[in-house]
Amino acid sequence: MIRKFGNAAAGAAVFGSVALLPSYPVAQEAEGIFQTPQRPSLNFYGTTGLIDMPSAQMMPDGQVAVGVSNFGGTTRTTLTFQATPRIQASFRYSGIKDANFSAFDTYRDRSFDVRFLLNRESRYLPALTLGLQDFAGTGIYAGEFIAATKAFSNARIPGTVTTTVGLGWGRLGSSGSIGTPFGEDRPAFVAGDSGGELSIDQWFRGNAAPFAGVEWQINDKWGLKAEYSSDAYTLETANGSFDRKSRFNFGAEYQVSDGVRLGGYYLYGSEIGLNVQVQLNPNRPAAPLRIPAPQPYFIRPSRREDPQSYSTDWVKSEAEASVLVRDAIMPLLAAEGLTLIETRTTASTTEVRFSNERYGSTSIAVGRVARIMARLLPDSVETFRIVPVVNNLAQSAIVMRRSDLEALEFSPDVVDASLAVTGFDSASPVLRGSARNEEVFPSLNWSIGPYLSQSLFDPNEPIRIDAGVQLSLAYAPAPGWKVAGRLQHRLTGNIADNARPSTSALPAVRTNARLYADNSDTSIRELYASRQWKAAPDIYTRVSAGYLERMFGGVSAEMLWKPVASRLALGVEANYVKQRSFDTYLGFQDYTIATGHASAYYEFNNGFTGQLDVGRYLAGDVGATVSLEREFDNGWRVGGFFTLTDVSSEDFGEGSFDKGISMTIPLNWFLGKPTPQSGSRTIRPIQRDGGARLSVPGRLYEQVRSGHREELVGNWSGVWE
């Protein structure tokens, strides 16, 4: 019979922690290599550096920084990501007031940087970094550099002194040149250039000039900086933005909190500057994650001690036994924020399929299910098959032997040892002979709350925002079926005030976004029906029809091949859609298009996932999108993408080709309590019509992968939390 037990207190809660480490000293040596500073200071370009010049330092692996600086009529806002311990990438949005080479009051510019750590700092050698600044923009900030940085500390001097010397080209080689070591020809910045293309022909060409600087971090709060700059600011001084009287810059910085740093500066002998630096690390949450400790694993008596407890007489029939387990396990899973979908039981094996509404990590949910099964099931049940389910898609079967769990409960290397004895199998499309939870369907979920929509990088108004109230509905009449919609009512905003007309040489599939915002305060953003199911153990399918996104409606079908233990997944999607009317109610326009892609996904090491999509886009252009994203164990994601199609850069227009940055932050990182919800944002330097892909709700890959082996292994410690 089913074992009964009470709801006794589970024990002390397990608390996450935030390591509030001081910024400095930084020169802590480990095996001859100096550790990366916890929060190295940023320069006016929002990258690790001095004041206006770069340094060779890197941020800790995975760190994200936002820098906002202003001086001499120039404001720069930069997002920087330490993609790997040796690679740092940045996206910058700048504004130069009263630029005489621009028709706008403020010239707006978007640019990308990348830098590579060639040598880590050690006892005797400095850190050495090579960098490319504005390597794929208009080129107004284009420059290359190689820099060396060394930190020193002495008992006679408080804090840490860090020195930097470097050699720069382009902007960074325009003052105090010592020659042209790699060639004289270097194209100058041309106002009105659409930008967006790699300027390989100018890298490390033209004049080269040295720069240098020193930073004294006096204590955990205060730091001083001085530098010799190699940037002549030719455009800005000719424009009258400021008068450059000196090559020397000076500044003082104050660490306000763990992640915020402020600085004030005297620059180029004539200007006062300000800099705000914010640094976040995915591995140091804003609020400690508090998860109640799980119940301990129930240890069965040995078969020798109590042979009768291993009797299988309790199984009169598998159908009856499955119903018994279903009824007993449902409330226990619900207490953990999990929903039983179905279960099937034999005398020796029990499979439990469930959905997770509480935990950001599937592995935590798997561990909670295993503990409940160990306490609930009769002793004869040796094999647990635990199957997480997302929207009717059984992701995988995590196979555990009960005896292994019992033996490893108090093992010092329980995480690695338990992973070694756990199996990962494909979950069958249908669990035949199961006892289903009849309370799951039909279901109705709804929410109402505020929303914000942003439109970025308009030259007249770089940030436009609409705000209002949003109603979301989702009705699931049966497994795999869903009817969903989203209704928005705008209360205030200025996105519709954008008066720039579309000048696209392609069908206006994205550049007419203003017209959708301008025609109605109330809009149906989505209204569709979908069905998704497993066609085979490793094949997932989806069909959707209706108003799929704000601008298009029609029919979409997708199939994904993704074995549980494979890093590779392959998919194909086909869509036939029609452009929606501008009032975003129920009408359509004349434009129709058949669009679709073949996709390949691959999970690399260290949390990186690559994606390649090849096919036809909404404007009829044909090409490919390449994406690379890094995911951290706690759900943070940062990535980038670019799309190249048969549309020329001239026909594409400003930006030359589609590209952007994506970021996802789990809400539990801020809230400190478990939740699977997260917030996502995609930043495009410019939204044009080329390379525009249909936005379909519920694409399969992200639904499937969270419960497959690679994702589970990366968070396997959660099984024991």
Instruction: For the chain, give every domain's residue range.
Output: 29-190+198-280, 290-439+712-720
The confidence score (pLDDT) of residue 11 equals 32
Separation between Cα atoms, residue 704 and residue 388, nearest integer Å: 10
Contact, 495 vs 455, CB < 8 A?
yes
Separation between Cα atoms, residue 640 and residue 609, nearest integer Å: 11
Separation between Cα atoms, residue 397 and residue 538, nearest integer Å: 12
Instruction: Give Cβ neighbours of residue 719 (< 8 Å, ≥ 6 apart).
Output: 363, 364, 366, 367, 370, 415, 418
3-state SS, 512-528, equals CHHHHHHCCCEEEEEEE
The confidence score (pLDDT) of residue 195 equals 60
Report the candidate in 701, 692, 700, 480 with the shortest Cα–Cα distance to residue 577: 692
The confidence score (pLDDT) of residue 190 equals 66
Separation between Cα atoms, residue 371 and residue 376, nearest integer Å: 9
Location of structure tokens 């690559």: 610
The confidence score (pLDDT) of residue 296 equals 85
Location of structure tokens 């809660």: 13
Rg (CA), the chain: 29
Separation between Cα atoms, residue 57 and residue 217, nearest integer Å: 14
Report the candidate in 557, 33, 75, 26 with the shortest Cα–Cα distance to residue 271: 75
Angle of helix 318-335 relative to helix 362-376, nearest 10 degrees, comes to 130
Contact, 150 vs 163, CB < 8 A?
yes
Enumerate the H helices of 532-641 as residue ranges.
Answer: none
Instruction: Give Cβ neighbours of residue 544 (< 8 Å, ≥ 6 apart).
Output: 528, 529, 530, 555, 556, 557, 696, 697, 698
The per-residue pLDDT of the chain, averaged, comes to 90
Separation between Cα atoms, residue 699 and residue 680, nearest integer Å: 15
348 DSSP 8-state letter: S
How would you class 346 by CB atoms within 10 Å of its CB: exposed for 0-12, middle for 13-18, buried for 19 or more? middle
310 DSSP 8-state letter: G
The confidence score (pLDDT) of residue 419 equals 95
Strand-strand pairing, 658-666 and 588-603: unpaired
Contact, 701 vs 627, CB < 8 A?
no
Separation between Cα atoms, residue 401 and residue 373, nearest integer Å: 11
Using DSSP, state whether 355 is helix, strand or coil: strand
Location of structure tokens 């049966």: 478
DSSP lists the bridge partners of residue 447 as 472
387 DSSP 8-state letter: E
DSSP for 270-290?
TEEEEEEEEEE-TTS-SS--E
Separation between Cα atoms, residue 291 and residue 350, nearest integer Å: 27
The confidence score (pLDDT) of residue 25 equals 40
Separation between Cα atoms, residue 326 and residue 478, nearest integer Å: 19
Separation between Cα atoms, residue 407 and residue 385, nearest integer Å: 18
Separation between Cα atoms, residue 511 and residue 515, nearest integer Å: 9
Separation between Cα atoms, residue 40 and residue 473, nearest integer Å: 46
Separation between Cα atoms, residue 313 and residue 298, nearest integer Å: 21
- Whether the link from the prior residue into 442 is cis, omega within 30° of 0, is yes
- Quote the tokens at residue 337: 């924020």
β strands within 134-195, DSSP E:
143-154, 157-170
Separation between Cα atoms, residue 250 and residue 214, nearest integer Å: 10
State which residues of the chain have pLDDT below 70: 1-33, 137, 189-196, 499
- Quote the tokens at residue 202: 């100018």
* The dihedral formed by the CA atoms of 82, 83, 86 and 88, expressed in degrees to the nearest 10: -50
Percent of the chain with pLDDT over 90: 71
- Quote the tokens at residue 609: 């996932």
The confidence score (pLDDT) of residue 564 equals 97
47 DSSP 8-state letter: S
Half-sphere exposure of 129 (CA within 13 A, CB side): 29
- Quote the tokens at residue 423: 């199996």
Location of structure tokens 């009512």: 489
Instruction: Give Cβ neighbours of residue 569 (< 8 Å, ≥ 6 apart).
Output: 560, 561, 562, 600, 601, 602, 701, 704, 705
Contact, 407 vs 400, CB < 8 A?
no
Q: Is the pTM of this model over 0.85?
A: yes
Report the candidate in 357, 493, 378, 294 with the shortest Cα–Cα distance to residue 4: 378
- Quote the tokens at residue 571: 């998919």
Report the candidate in 531, 532, 528 with the shortest Cα–Cα distance to residue 548: 528
The 10s digit of each residue's pLDDT in 138-160 is 788 999 999 999 999 887 888 89
CATH of the domain spanning 29-190+198-280: 2.40.160.40
Contact, 152 vs 126, CB < 8 A?
no
